[in-house]
């Protein structure tokens, strides 16, 4: 965040010689090589508090009931209806056919095994995300009565092979490589065990069921062939078309129908541990596949980048990789997991951003003051003097914040500097988080830079939502609310099970609500549009610049050093002392917290049938003067409104705008911050 008269301190601007050097400005002769041992020693991830319920299947029944309902033509329509009720979308014809074929195979196999009374949870939603797994079988472990769960990932692949040098597979000679089915099933198991405490005392297995693949095909993608095999063979199996008897035999050994219904009900009612802010996980570590279990496209991106590192070594091959996704789809998780993996392998990899706040927070939480380790976390403008292919991997996180050039006198585009410096350049971005005209990062910019250099280009899109309660519906609602979805305008709010949205009548009621959440152990922050001046501390105290009626609060600290318990601006979003100060786009972007309070100022108000933006109400000199101010201010509020993992509270200083939020059906808080 920065005053209206100066540049934003969130961007690392290369100073002139007369002003010396920033402490964080380094060259790559200093950065490499380093040994980031700390990453290897941080313990495995531990999710957040037990507090929410978030498991639901599209259908639940015994194997016999599922088979009979399917053969009667009722199962797929019922699942489609439930999917639409929960998500607002219908299955594609291909998805419905896949359900029919695979579900029939599993239900018949269970009946043949004498396990017809085992409960089948079809298309069960994973905890804290909108991703769904094919089938979870629920019964008891034979002879004990204890809960037993078998997660089944069905694949109708007949021809599939392992991508050379990677853990990805290529199906039926298609161009697009996919996640190995054993890794996919294992990721689901890890998510379930990690976020559902009940399952930590249960037997939980996972199966990749390739029921159309012959023995030779299955052997070609054996788990034993994976370079970095992670699925624990004690809990993971793969079966093909020739393995029916073995599949039945092993199912009988780990599953019985005893207490199946009661165990299924218990699982669906189980408490789900909410996730926690990324930086809290990072503070504990990046050690053993740790910050977060990766699933689906996240895992695909992770495996693809690792494969390209091996390929670059063996073939001198180079291509540019882009991973794009909206808020909470796991871009930074992928980046940090890659850093962990490459450090363990001894591969020199550098994490780079355009955000001083994000980079300083990583240095604080991971490097913990070690200068050599800190240099693994750099800025986009640190690469102008780096020789071509000097670094094995550059992971450019928040790449939507790329600038045209690293310095005014630079002749090369910044994106080209990053691409040329690395053997494997990786960019992670969300184009709808561009909040300044000087930020030029986009998929097309990177694609064109790759083409100009004669390099290949690979793009991966992250679909699943891991923030905002795993509710993409909320992200979509915000995009429509702010006019960022070209297909639709603001829509009525439909309450969600896993994400709480409220509108506050006053800023004090918002603060009271969030304070109660912090007393319950949650994290919360209030951020606002940049509609008030930002003063330097006076007599070592912050100035109450944000004034709304008789409610007064300071912006986050302007200094780089803490003021007592008040953290410096770069650590506002992650330090416990940040609650009580108001953040803005420059201190909130890139971070997450449990509950997000968002104050809309006079720079964006609702009038009649649409939004009206007013740059005169904005105090950010670099934004208010832009010709596309209207677009930028909408994106700013989108970023602020999508920081919450569990909930958000909206408040506008404009009464008509606040009434508009309530008119859309957003539940109101009472004057004391209580739920009405």
The ranges assigned to domains in the chain are 17-44+277-461, 50-273, 468-663
What's the CA dihedral at 100, 105, 107, 113 to 10 degrees? 180
C-alpha distances in Å from residue 161, one per residue of 229, 473, 517: 16, 36, 50
Asked if 132 contacts 123 with a C-beta cutoff of 8 angstroms, the reply is yes
Exposed / middle / buried, residue 370 (Cβ in 10 Å: 0-12, 13-18, 19+): middle
Residue 164: its pLDDT value, please? 79
Residue 62: its pLDDT value, please? 97
Asked if 273 contacts 245 with a C-beta cutoff of 8 angstroms, the reply is no
Task: Examine the pLDDT at 274 and tell me if it is beyond 80.
Answer: no
Is the peptide bond prior to 444 cis by the omega test (within 30 degrees of 0)? Answer: no
Q: Which residue has the higher pLDDT, 280 or 417?
A: 417
Residue 16, C-beta contacts closer than 8 angstroms, at least 6 positions apart: none
Q: Which helix (H) or strand (E) holds 636?
A: helix 629-641
Chain centre to alpha carbon of residue 448 = 26
pTM score of the predicted model: 0.78
What is the bridge-based pairing of β-strands 593-600 and 644-652? parallel
Q: Give the closest residue to 393 by CA, choosing from 408, 378, 407.
A: 378
Looking at the domain 17-44+277-461, which fold is it?
Rossmann fold (3.40.50)
Task: Examine the pLDDT at 284 and tell me if it is beyond 60.
Answer: no
Task: Examine the pLDDT at 458 and tell me if it is beyond 50.
Answer: yes
C-alpha distances in Å from residue 272, one per residue of 190, 416, 523: 13, 44, 18
Residue 94, C-beta contacts closer than 8 angstroms, at least 6 positions apart: none
Asked if 524 contacts 583 with a C-beta cutoff of 8 angstroms, the reply is no
Give residue 49's pLDDT band: very low, low, confident or very high (50, 70, 90).
Answer: low
Task: Examine the pLDDT at 39 and tell me if it is beyond 50.
Answer: no
Express each pLDDT in 146-189 by its tens digit: 999 999 999 989 888 888 778 888 888 676 888 999 999 998 99
Asked if 665 contacts 614 with a C-beta cutoff of 8 angstroms, the reply is no
Mean pLDDT (whole number) for 20-27: 35
Q: Return d(Cα 290, Cα 294) in angstroms, integer.
A: 9
Q: Which residue has the higher pLDDT, 47 or 494?
A: 494
Q: Which residue has the higher pLDDT, 297 or 418?
A: 418
Asked if 368 contacts 386 with a C-beta cutoff of 8 angstroms, the reply is no
Supply 517's token pair: 């959440």
429 DSSP β-pair partners: 324
Mean pLDDT (whole number) for 520-533: 94
What are the strands of the beta sheet with 168-171, ordered from one edge?
A: 160-162, 168-171, 177-179
Mean pLDDT (whole number) for 118-130: 89
Residue 674: its pLDDT value, please? 82
What's the CA dihedral at 445, 449, 454, 456 to 10 degrees? -50
Place of tokens 């002749």: 411
Residue 41: its pLDDT value, please? 35
Residue 521: its pLDDT value, please? 86
Express each pLDDT in 559-590 by its tens digit: 777 788 898 888 898 888 999 999 999 899 88
Q: Give the closest residue to 527 by CA, choosing from 638, 666, 654, 397.
A: 638
Q: Return d(Cα 297, Cα 304) in angstroms, integer.
A: 10
CB atoms within 10 A of CB 239: 21
Lowest-confidence region among 27-41, 54-68, 163-177, 287-301: 27-41
Assign 88 to helix, strand or coil: coil
Mean pLDDT (whole number) for 263-284: 73
Residue 286: its pLDDT value, please? 47
Q: Give the mean pLDDT of the chain.
A: 85
Q: Return d(Cα 403, Cα 441) in angstroms, integer.
A: 7
113 DSSP assignment: T
Residue 469: its pLDDT value, please? 56
Q: Return d(Cα 267, Cα 203) in angstroms, integer.
A: 13
């Amino acid at each position: 965040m920065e005053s209206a008269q100066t540049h934003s301190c969130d961007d690392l601007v290369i100073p002139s010689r007369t002003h010396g050097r920033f402490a964080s400005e380094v060259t790559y002769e200093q950065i490499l090589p380093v040994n980031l041992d700390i990453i290897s020693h941080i313990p495995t991830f531990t999710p957040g508090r037990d507090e929410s319920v978030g498991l639901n299947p599209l259908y639940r029944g015994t194997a016999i009931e599922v088979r009979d309902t399917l053969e009667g033509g009722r199962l797929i329509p019922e699942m489609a209806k439930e999917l639409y009720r929960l998500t607002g979308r219908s299955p594609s014809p291909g998805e419905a056919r896949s359900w029919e074929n695979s579900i029939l195979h599993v239900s018949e196999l269970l009946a043949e095994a004498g396990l017809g009374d085992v409960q089948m949870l079809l298309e069960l939603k994973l905890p804290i995300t909108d991703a769904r797994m094919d089938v979870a079988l629920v019964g008891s472990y034979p002879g004990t009565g204890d809960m037993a769960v078998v997660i089944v990932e069905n694949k109708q692949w007949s021809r599939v092979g392992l991508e050379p040098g990677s853990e990805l597979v290529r199906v039926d000679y298609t161009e697009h490589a996919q996640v190995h089915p054993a890794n996919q099933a294992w990721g689901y198991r890890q998510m379930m065990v990690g976020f559902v405490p009940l399952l930590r005392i249960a037997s939980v297995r996972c199966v990749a069921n390739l029921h159309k693949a012959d023995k030779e095909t299955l052997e070609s993608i054996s788990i034993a062939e994976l370079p970095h095999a992670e699925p624990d063979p004690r809990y993971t199996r793969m079966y093909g078309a020739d393995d029916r008897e073995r599949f039945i035999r092993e199912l009988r050994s780990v599953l019985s129908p005893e207490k199946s219904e009661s165990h299924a009900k218990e699982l669906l009612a189980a408490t789900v541990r909410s996730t926690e802010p990324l930086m809290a996980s990072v503070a504990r570590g990046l050690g053993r596949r740790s910050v977060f279990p990766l699933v689906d496209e996240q895992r695909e991106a992770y495996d693809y980048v690792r494969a390209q590192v091996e390929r670059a070594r063996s073939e001198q091959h180079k291509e540019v990789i882009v991973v794009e996704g909206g808020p909470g789809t796991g871009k930074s998780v992928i980046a940090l997991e890659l850093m962990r993996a490459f450090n363990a392998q001894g591969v020199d990899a550098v994490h780079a951003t355009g955000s001083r706040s994000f980079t300083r927070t990583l240095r604080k939480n991971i490097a913990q003051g070690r200068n050599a380790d800190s240099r693994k976390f750099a800025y986009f403008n640190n690469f102008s003097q780096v020789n071509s292919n000097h670094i094995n991997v550059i992971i450019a996180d928040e790449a939507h914040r790329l600038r045209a050039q690293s310095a005014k006198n630079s002749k090369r585009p910044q994106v080209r500097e990053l691409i040329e410096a690395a053997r494997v350049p990786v960019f992670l971005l969300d184009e709808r988080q561009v909040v300044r005209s000087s930020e030029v990062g986009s998929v097309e910019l990177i694609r064109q830079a790759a083409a100009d250099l004669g390099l290949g280009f690979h793009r991966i899109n992250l679909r699943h939502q891991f923030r905002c309660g795993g509710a993409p519906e909320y992200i979509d609602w915000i995009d429509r609310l702010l006019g960022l979805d070209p297909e639709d305008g603001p829509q009525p709010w439909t309450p969600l099970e896993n994400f709480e949205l409220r509108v506050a009548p006053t800023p004090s009621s918002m603060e009271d609500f969030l304070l109660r959440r912090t007393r319950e152990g949650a994290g919360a922050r209030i951020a606002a549009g940049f509609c008030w001046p930002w003063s330097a501390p006076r007599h070592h105290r912050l100035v109450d610049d944000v004034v709304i009626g008789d409610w007064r609060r300071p912006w986050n600290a302007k200094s780089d050093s803490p003021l007592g318990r008040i953290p410096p601006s770069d650590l506002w979003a992650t330090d416990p002392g940040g609650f009580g100060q108001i953040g803005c786009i420059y201190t909130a972007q890139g971070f997450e917290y449990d509950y997000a309070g968002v104050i809309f100022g006079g720079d964006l108000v609702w009038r009649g049938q649409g939004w009206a933006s007013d740059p005169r109400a904005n105090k950010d000199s670099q934004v208010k003067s832009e010709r596309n101010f209207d677009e930028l201010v909408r994106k700013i509020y989108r970023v602020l409104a999508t920081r919450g993992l569990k909930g958000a509270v909206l408040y506008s200083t404009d009464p008509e705008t606040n009434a508009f939020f309530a008119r859309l059906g957003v539940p109101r808080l009472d004057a004391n911050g209580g739920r009405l």
